[in-house]
A and B are shown apart, each in its own frame.
Chain A
Amino acid sequence: MAIFDKFQSLTESHDFLKSVGQSPSELQFDEILSPTEAILNGRRTILLGTNNYLGMTFDDACIEKGISALQEQGTGTTGSRIANGSYDGHKALENEIAEFYGMKNAMLFSTGYMANLGAIGTLAGRGDYLLIDADSHASIHDACKLSDAEVIRFRHNDPVNLARKLERLADKPGEKLVVIESIYSMLGDTSPLKEMIAVKKKYGAYLLIDEAHSLGVMGATGRGLCELAGVEDDVDFVTGTFSKSIGTIGGFLVSNVPGLDIVRLASRPYMFTASLPPSVVATAREALSHVPGATVLRAKLWDNATQLYAGLKTAGFDLGPEVSPIVAIRMQDAEKAVALWNGLLEAGVYTNLALPPATPSGWFLLRSSISAAHSSQQIALAVELCTRIGRELGLISCPAQSSAKVEMMNVGSPRKSSKPEAESVSKKDDAAAQA
């Protein structure tokens, strides 16, 4: 089949994965039991890779709202809001997400991917400049393809490199839109937001931040990294998703920049896709209403993240640079990475396997995402299994290595102040590895 010949290398990679175990893309759960457990291949399995940060997917109130909306308004809108009109829930959710962020305007999109596609691809047009981080999510790269703007990458999380690029554009006409992410999805590292804002202000650029992985996770009321850093007034556009901490699907763009509504008439990913179904809107609204007061869940989430990070670090794994609800083991050996992922699956722990070129610096990653719904026993079991299999594969030495100190991030809203001194580790090695 000649039309598929161009995918030969993809086919070979997929065949390799299938030859040594399961293929992540073909994995199918028999039953979902809770936000943290499923039946997979007949085995009870801990879900440690679903981005279900607040465990909202089985929230009783959200489910009830969804069922009511299904019964009252049907299963779908069968078209875009431009063509088919809006339902009252669409506008209500836009008002609520705008109010949540303290912004004047909001737009819904059908997914978080499409929010980036529709926002970034439309805000920057011909004659403008898009400045994107080298580790940007695929949705940002794809948005750049949709835009007619000139696309310039800057080194990951490097405000000095960004400044250099903007300096070279200082005399050029056209708007400059800098695009960053609060938490980067592969390694879980956060943006140096204050430094980025200082640069964008110096050069008169706009800043868009994707808070996909920080909504509900960071900040006193869960508004994300901007709230945590106290810089919300300096950010021009925020995108995000309802598919992680909100537990359903959908995306949004919020902003205080006057005139945002015109984007509805220019953004093809907004105009030419069916709008969110009423049941999804209803569950998103209910979940969003829980976020500001979910301080206990946020504290539990960060405690779980710290437990997993410290446990794996102490075992000797090479991890991402900071404690985060995304914990990634970095490996250089493809076969061992695949074997670790398969070994964990067979032992009853589901994580994500991420392979180059989708990963920073060409790492092979075993990526975990933590939920507030995880028990500390589940986290401990995951650490134990990961350590045992990692030793069998020679990924880590035996016995456990360091027991230095985890440098706690000043994250989230009110958190338990107890620092896990005994199980904490140093960031020094990671900083070196990242550099």
Chain B
Amino acid sequence: MSATQQAPDSILSDPIYKEILEQLRPHAGADSVFAPDTVITEDLGMDSLAIMDFLFDLEDALDLNIPEHRTAEVRTIRDLVAAIVLLQKES
């Protein structure tokens, strides 16, 4: 691999990342583009109610409780993946 080539972002194949995208799609704006560093509120046009509904769906999909304060610092999809990984380890 040359120095100018970047390694593929491993998060793209992470099953949690894929599940988050799956659950995000119905709640995000129609023209949304999803990437690891997509900012959930601003880039996807989601307000607080849409985010709450998305998190309910994600909890069901992952069979996991996501306490409120665990998402307080989450901005991007990558942040959310990290938060979920941590929660799964703890549960």
Contacts and interface: CB of A to CB of B under 8 A. Distances in A.
Contact of A361 (B49, B59, B65): B49
A153 B47 CA distance: 17
Contacts of A357: 47-49
A164 B52 contact: no
B23 to A, nearest CB: 15
Interface string A269-297: 00000000000000000000000000000
Nearest to B68: A151
Contacts of B66: 152
B42 interface: no
B65 A165 contact: yes
Contact of B69 (A150, A168, A356): A150
A117 interface: no
Contacts of A356: 47, 49
Contacts of A152: 65-68
A325 to B, nearest CB: 25
B35 interface: no
B49 A164 contact: no
A155 interface: yes
B56 A168 contact: no
Interface string A134-159: 10000000001000001111010000
B10 interface: no
A168 B49 contact: no
Contacts of A153: 52, 56, 68
Given A134-B52, A153-B52, A168-B91, A362 B67 contact: no
A344 B60 CA distance: 43
A305 to B, nearest CB: 27
B63 interface: yes
The size class of the interface chain B forms with chain A is 10 to 19
B65 to A, nearest CB: 5
Interface in B14-61: 47-49, 52, 56, 59-60
B64 interface: yes
Nearest to A172: B91
A256 to B, nearest CB: 29
Contacts of A164: 60
B47 A362 contact: yes
Interface in A155-181: 155, 161, 164-165, 168-169
B24 to A, nearest CB: 18
Nearest to B70: A150
Contacts of B59: 165
Contacts of B67: 150-152
A276 B59 CA distance: 43
A144 B67 CA distance: 11
A151 B47 CA distance: 20
Interface string A337-366: 000000000000000000011000110000
A155 B52 CA distance: 9
A89 B91 CA distance: 49
Contacts of B47: 356-357, 362
Nearest to B63: A168
A118 B66 CA distance: 25
B56 A155 contact: yes
Contacts of A151: 67-69
B60 to A, nearest CB: 7
A139 to B, nearest CB: 16
A144 B64 contact: no
A152 B55 CA distance: 11
Interface string A360-393: 0110000000000000000000000000000000
B56 to A, nearest CB: 6
A9 B32 CA distance: 23
A134 B49 CA distance: 10
A144 B68 contact: yes
Interface of A: 134, 144, 150-153, 155, 161, 164-165, 168-169, 356-357, 361-362
Going nearest first, the 6 A-B pairs with the smallest beta carbon separation are A151-B68, A150-B67, A168-B65, A357-B48, A362-B49, A152-B65
8 contacts: A134-B52, A150-B67, A151-B67, A161-B56, A165-B59, A168-B64, A169-B65, A357-B49
Interface of B: 47-49, 52, 56, 59-60, 63-69, 91
Given A152-B66, A153-B52, A168-B63, 15 more contacts: A134-B56, A144-B68, A150-B69, A153-B56, A153-B68, A155-B56, A164-B60, A165-B65, A168-B65, A168-B91, A169-B65, A356-B47, A356-B49, A357-B47, A357-B49
